[in-house]
Each structure stands twice: as structure tokens, then as C-alpha cells.
Structure 1
Amino acid sequence: MSVITRFPPSPTGYLHLGGARTALFNYLYARQSQGKMILRIEDTDRERSTEESVQAIFDGMNWLGLEHDEGPYFQTQRFERYKEVIQQLLDQGEAYPCFCSRERLDKLREEQMERGDKPRYDGHCRGLETFDMDADAVIRFKNPQSGTVAWDDLVKGRIEISNDELDDLIIARSDGSPTYNLTVVVDDMDMGITHVIRGDDHVNNTPRQLNILDALEADRPHYAHVPMILGSDGARLSKRHGAVSVMAYREEGYLPQAMLNYLVRLGWSHGDQEIFSLDEMIEKFDLRHVQKAAARFDADKLKWINQHYIKASDPADLVDEYLWHMGRLGTDTTAGPAAVEVIRAHQERAKTLLEMAQSTQFYFQAPTQYQDKDAKKHFKTQTADILAALLERSRALPQWSGQAMHDVVQAVAEQFEVGMGKVGQPVRVALSGAGNTPSLDVTLDLVGREQAEARLAVAIEWIRANIA
């Protein structure tokens, strides 16, 4: 049997972490089995679905590199097919029109709750033989009234639900539009889905969907309900726990491979291994090793993994994401050092690419001000004379380089009888606006002779004007 999975997001918002993990698990299982993954946009909620949300889903999937093999299919383009199946169920006697008013249903629910009963439809219209076809009606599925519905969940094990726990759910609204449980069943049936891997908040939907599949005499897919993702405090993951949109994590400077590595470990493990390449994920992913308990989101762990990937990556592989961040910061990188060399100098120092981008803007544009604490610490009255002597020696160098300037710094330190830090640190502040940069020779090489000498001249004037 060829494995076919699906990722079916609703376009009512961004692609969140839970959805991204579901997409990843479906992708890995399909790839491991040499099957395929279908992308299906469940956009039947026409009031809340937006084109912006559809694009946000595509953007998130593309950034993570989770390529689908078929689709995207849109449920709003399949309404005629859903109508056919609804009519089929009516003709088979597996569905019926319900004319109950909202007032009657509200009163029924209130009475059931007062008795301590589980609120559900009482089947009032199930046996109607005559009715006014012009009256507004919903269509309900005639759920079996005896027996059980059961399946062997690939994560949770055997699950069995008594049919008397289920009521006759609505499969078509009064305007004829289909409901979620109907559209999902028809899509999974028509698209030949063999494995439904989804969040365990859908466990309650599964027995209803299985009964509809059985009524249609369709093959049942295998189900795997993966645990929810909770915040570090044990509450359901929400905006108050930080960014929950996949693309928001991109904006914060996380790498897609780091996000995938972190997401795969939210509820799944392979021994004590923490770092997985995508190929390793495909090779080792096993639904039997998905835990049943909810996973907890750990922002510090994500940052640790991200820092690992920044350090371990070939700098050339980080260029596109780095330049994306520089563009968002409004930094023109067309003039200045090669981005790959800037990354190489800073990848040991940065936890996120946003942090790297913010701290490396000075290579491409001169600082417009000096950080107050660094200026106070490193710019003294004598510093202007020290930097002036340094600038003079720099301009006299026939062959200028960071290493040559390192020797100049040493010579100037000896000339003024001060430590290397009394010269080197003011140079860092003059070049970058702050006192924290890579080694001085690397920093000077990346800034370049023209900019280095120009910035030293500006710093000398600033010190003489501002330091008494």
C-alpha cells in the first residue's frame, strides 16, 4: 500500500507551531515510506478564511522546506462533490433533514444540563415521515444507536467509543453548505488518504468520521493523534508564551532547519539524540516513538538549537537568510564586505540571525552615534591623540590590512606607553559604535581602509568636541 498523508490547515490565521509540527510529521512519514503528502486548504469557513491566511500557510511551508506532492486543493472548490455525498447519504437512509428551531435546541440543551446529562441532539426529527420541504432544515447524519466504534491509534493505542455517546451530527447547514466532519471524510476518501496524522484535539471527531466512512462503505485510514503543545507553564500554547507564528520565528532570527529540528522533538524522540538533519529525521522518524503526553514548548531550548545551527552551518548557507534580515533592517549591503565573510566572523557569537544582523550593520554603514557606556569607558581626553597617531600611521601604510593595522595598534600603544586595550578598544568603538566586535584585525579587514580611516577621523573630532 502506498502511503498518502495530508496536511489540511484552515486559512483563518497564520501557520502556528502546532500546525507546522503536524505538517512535519506528515511530511516525514510520507517521505520515509516513499509515499506522498497532499496539501489541502480547508476553507469552508468563508467568514473567517482569507487570502492573506492562505498565503501565510504557503509562506510558512516554503520557508520550512516542507514540500507537498499534490495540491493545494481547496474545499470551496469541491462543494458539488459534497452535495453528491450528502444526497447519497439521504438516499441510503443514512441521513435526514432536521427542522428543529434554535429555540427548541437551546431549551433541550438547558434541560439536559439541569439533569446532569451530556448535551446532545435527541433525534426528534430522525423518524419524521412527512415534512415541509420548503422549510429551513439542516441535514443530520444518522449515527448508529448501538454498538461501538473503535480504531487502533498509531500513537494512543486502542480507542473504543460507544455509539450511544454520539448524537446525530449536522453534515449540512440550512443553506446547504457542508460541515467539517463531512468534508474531511469525503476528502480523505476521494484522495485515498491512508494515514491521518493530526493533533489529539481531533480524537473526538474520529468516531464520528469513522461512522460516516462506514456508511459510505469507504476504506478507513489509519489514525495517529499526536500530543498537544503546551507553554512552559503547562497552559495551552498561546501568544502570551511568545511568538506562535512560524514566520514570526523567522522574523526573530531563527533558521528553518533549527525550527524543524526543534519541532520534531516536541513529542517525539530517538534515544538521547537532540540534533537531527532533515535526512536523519526522515530515516529515524517512527510514530511508535511519539509520546502520548502533551509536549512543552521551551524557548531556551529552541534558541540553543538555533545557535548550534548558526555555528555549525557553512557561512554560505546562511547568506540568504542573513540578507533577508538586513533588508528588513533597511541596511544596504551592496557596498561593503561580502556577507559570507561577515557571517564567518560572527557565527560563533550570535544566537539568532536577527541578533547577527543588528550587530553587523556597522560594516555597511558608519555608526551615527556611540553607545553611551562604551564611549564613557573607552573615549578619554588622551584617546583623541592616540587615535590621531594611529590614523597617521594608517595613512602611511603602503599595504593596508587588518594584520598590518594590528601591528600599528601595538606600535601606538608602545608610543603612548599604554596597554593594547587603551588603543584597540577605542578603535572598536570608532568603527562600530560599540566595544564588542570580533578580533580587531578581522574587524578592520571587513570595514576596509577607506571606511576605517574615515571613521577614525570622525571619532577624533567627536572626542575633542565632547570629552573635556
Structure 2
Amino acid sequence: MEQIITRFAPSPTGYLHIGGARTALFNWLFARHHGGKFILRIEDTDRERSTEESVRAILDAMEWLGMDWDEGPYYQTERLDVYREYLQRLIDKGLAYYCDCSPEDVERRRQEALKAGRKPKYDGRCRDKGLGPGPGRVVRFRCPQAGTTVLNDLIKGSIEFDNAELDDLVLQRSDGFPTYNFAVVVDDVSMSVNYVIRGDDHVNNTPRQILIYQALEAPLPRFAHVPMILGQDRTRLSKRHGATSVMAYKEQGYLPEALVNYLVRLGWSYGDQEIFSREELIEKFDLDRVGASASVFDQEKLLWLNAHYIKEKPAGEIVRLLKPFLTERGYPDHGDDYLERAVATLQPRCRTLREMADAAAFYLVEDVEYDPKAAEKFLTPELAGPLKRLIETLKGLERFEEAELEKAFRRMAEDLGVKLGKIAQPVRVALTGVTASPGLFEIIDILGKETVLRRLEKALRFAEARSQ
């Protein structure tokens, strides 16, 4: 059986965005599922817009998402001799020709055609001039002027294109660089790519590319055009919908597993299953389960998935991922063991690592700041007496552990004739500054006796000061 070979071929004119990442994932998973080959190619012939920074950002995003490639990255700017060789084949066969029409003349004649009710395509003025190379000259493809070109798409089905509607497209610009439609075909032919999986914004390029394949007498790959991703308002996904770069999601505290899981499910399904490990995705992914309809990007669904992966990952791994966010906030280093215990209490409560870094503040700062409303409600003058008694009780505890702490609190609540919450909630505010946090006795156990007593004594002073 022929080995399946796919490729991902981004242009380095910006960062890797959500749509491109999904295309890359579909190609990667399809190749991995079938034991094939996945090629990474950088289409950098747009010299004005391509940057090294964008190349690095794309590679970083691919690596962060865990998409390893078997060949590449290949750079089109390093393959100019290959394009010239294939171009000469077409010229020699009379299937391509030199054109000396200036861009201004071409545009003027297109506008005239529009006014006259004709198709605004190149009028073939240089088709039979027999021109050779020269300054300012481009090379055009001699497109068939009759008949149809058929795209048998694995997702969209059969689509027919009238050749009379197509242009004698430029294959090589006047600066000697190939155009996209020519370079992509030469790359795929020379790299033996036999499955082209890409966004459906490329459908209109495909008939032109098929004609170039045929002119080169090269076998056609199987095409699969994936529907676009829409925002919640059903318009094309853009930055306002959350379509930021892949690495921006890393900076916001998303885990790569969550983003991979979510992106693959945008357009692909396997029954009602929502959560997949990487191994399951490789095992189950195939193109016959990719839908033909556009998918809607749902930020809340992505957050839900991310929360799941944060909750399920070992606390020690979360510590490693969380550290850059803690460093960014200037928190002192408390050691991995301490962090691991703290993180374990936060995992069920946080949807992103950034949220977790914010929620972990009370574990890491020297002193907490009270939320004004929480302090107003709970750190009242009436609390001073119970707080004094609690401080003395906690000072006398030999074992400052969760179970012993809970017993001490319950005994005190009984002695005072109040429910446990009447004591617990003010203590929570005293220790964390806020009213919502992980379990109180977990917190006290992790913070340790010295920190707990210091914060309770501060809360006592605050409560006493309010009575003056």
C-alpha cells in the first residue's frame, strides 16, 4: 500500500493562528493514524511580508502543540532552482510562455473588460508572441480555454470548474520568484505529497493547481478542503472572537492538550466523545469523520476542556507549568513541595494557569490584602473575642494538621454555641483576603502555624481597630 504523505505549509507572514493550527493537526493526525509521513514546509516566497520572527513563532507553536514532523522544515526560498527546472519543462512543452505586459496594462485591460461585460481576466495578449526571458517579464501558464476541471474533494464531494473562467495565471514573477499556485504544486510533486488537507479558502485555487499537475504529467493528490471556523455570531473567525495566535493561548495559561483536543473537535467527531488523549486521537482520526459544515469557535467550551486537563494532570506537572506565571508576578520561591500541595487545592477551582497564579497569591505573599467588602462583612469588632480565643487554641496545638485543626474549630464553635461557618468564614478572609478559596483546613495545614498565627493576629488588630 502506498505510504500516505501529508504536509503543512504555512506562510511566515504572522503567527500561527487557530485555523492554521487545526489544519496542521488534521494533516499530522491523518499521517500518524495511517503510519505515514508529515512534512513541514515554510512558504516564504513573499519576501516583503515573510519574517524570521514569524518562522520562529510557527515552529514554537508546532512544538508546543506536540506536532513533530518527519521532514523539513523546507523553505521555498531555498528551492528556487527546483521551481526553475519545473518551469522550464512547461516552457519547453509550450504550456507556459513569457509575457511582457506591465501590471498597469493588465489592470487597465481588466477594467475595460469589466465595463464591457466580459470576464476581467488576462486577455492572452502574449500567448503566441514567442517571447523569451527579459527584464520585467513574467511567465504565464497556458490555461486550457475550453472544457472543465473536476475537483473530487474528500470532504466537499465533486466540484466542476469551467476552464473558460480561469486565467493564464502567472507562474513566475518578474523578480524570478514563483507564485503560490505554481510553487505549491512543484513542492507537493517533488515531495510526493499525496494528500492535501487544507482550509476551504483554497478551493478556488485548486482547479488551477490541478491543471498544473496535469501539465507536468504528475499524479494528482487527494484533496480534502476543511470548512472554515466561525465565531459565535456565525461570521468568519477573527481576533474579536478569540482567534489570537496559538502561543497567545499558552501565555493565557492554556494547556497544549486542551487546545489540541478542542481544535480537532472543531469539524471532526467520534460519536458523543468529547475528551480524547493524544493516543486516542491518533487511533481514531480519519477524514471520513470530518464534517462538511463550518464549525463555531466556543471560548467557554475551550475553557471547560482546559479546566478538565488542569484538574486531571499530576500536581507536580502543573507546578512546572505554573512557575513562569508565578515568576511573572514576582512571587518568592517557596519550593516545589510546598507549591505542589498548594496547587493540588487549586486544581479543581481554576480553568487556566493564569487564573491559578492569581488564585495562589495568598499562599505565596508575605501578607494578604483584604477584599474591602469581605473585611467589612466578616472582620467585625464582635469577632475580636473569638479570634483571641482561636489564636490561643491554635498556639497550643501540638500537631498542626488538617484533621486536628478541624476538631479544634468544631470544639470552639460548640463552646460558643454557633455554627462552624460563623468562625470559618472570617478566618478564611483573615488568611486569604477573600471569601472563596479551597478548603479552610487544607489552607491552614499548607500555610503552616507561623503564617496562620501571624495573619490571624493581623485580623484581630483590624477588628479591634474598627471598634475605636
TM-score range relative to shorter protein: over 0.9
Residue-by-residue CA offset, 1:104-136 (whole Å, 9 max, x unaligned): 2122121222233332111111110357x5442
Paired position in structure 2 for 1:249: 249
Runs of 4 or more above 6 Å deviation: none
Whole-angstrom CA distance in 1 between matches of 2:203 and 2:432: 56
Paired position in structure 1 for 2:51: 50
Q: Single out whichever of 12-21 and 327-336 deviates more from structure 2.
A: 327-336
Residue-by-residue CA offset, 1:159-196 (whole Å, 9 max, x unaligned): 22222121111111111111111111111111111111
Structure 1 pair 29/419, CA: closer, same or farther in 2 (3 Å)?
same
What secondary structure is seen at the aligned counterpart in 1 of 2:381?
Answer: coil
Post-superposition offset of 1:323: 2.6
Q: Are the aligned partners of 1:366 and 1:432 in contact in 2 as well (CA < 8 Å)?
A: no
Give matches, 1:7-406, under 5 Å: 7-129=8-130, 133-335=133-335, 338-406=338-406
Unaligned runs of 5+ in 1: none
Give the partner amino acid of 2:27. N
Post-superposition offset of 1:352: 2.3
Whole-angstrom CA distance in 1 between matches of 2:275 and 2:419: 43
Structure 1 pair 300/124, CA: closer, same or farther in 2 (3 Å)?
same
Whole-angstrom CA distance in 2 between matches of 1:135 and 1:319: 61
Whole-angstrom CA distance in 2 between matches of 1:156 and 1:445: 59
Structure 1 pair 134/221, CA: closer, same or farther in 2 (3 Å)?
closer
Structure 1 pair 146/435, CA: closer, same or farther in 2 (3 Å)?
same
Give the partner amino acid of 1:77. E
Whole-angstrom CA distance in 2 between matches of 1:332 and 1:128: 76
Q: Are the aligned partners of 1:336 and 1:363 in contact in 2 as well (CA < 8 Å)?
A: no
Post-superposition offset of 1:395: 1.9
Q: Are the aligned partners of 2:379 and 2:462 in contact in 1 as well (CA < 8 Å)?
A: no
What secondary structure is seen at the aligned counterpart in 2 of 1:338?
Answer: helix
> Percent of aligned pairs with the same residue?
51
What secondary structure is seen at the aligned counterpart in 2 of 1:126?
Answer: coil
Residue-by-residue CA offset, 1:57-87 (whole Å, 9 max, x unaligned): 1221122111111111111111222222223
Whole-angstrom CA distance in 2 between matches of 1:294 and 1:8: 22
Q: Single out whichever of 30-39 and 45-54 deviates more from structure 2.
A: 45-54
Post-superposition offset of 1:442: 0.7
Q: Are the aligned partners of 2:97 and 2:130 in contact in 1 as well (CA < 8 Å)?
A: no
Q: Single out whichever of 120-129 and 327-336 deviates more from structure 2.
A: 327-336
Q: Are the aligned partners of 1:97 and 1:138 in contact in 2 as well (CA < 8 Å)?
A: yes
Residue-by-residue CA offset, 1:217-257 (whole Å, 9 max, x unaligned): 22221111000001110111001112421122222222211
Residue-by-residue CA offset, 1:31-78 (whole Å, 9 max, x unaligned): 011011111111111211112211211221122111111111111111
Q: Single out whichever of 334-343 and 435-444 deviates more from structure 2.
A: 334-343
Unaligned runs of 5+ in 2: none
What secondary structure is seen at the aligned counterpart in 1 of 2:158?
Answer: strand
Whole-angstrom CA distance in 2 between matches of 1:293 and 1:144: 32
Whole-angstrom CA distance in 1 between matches of 2:265 and 2:117: 41
Paired position in structure 2 for 1:445: 445
TM-score normalised by structure 1 residue count: 0.94
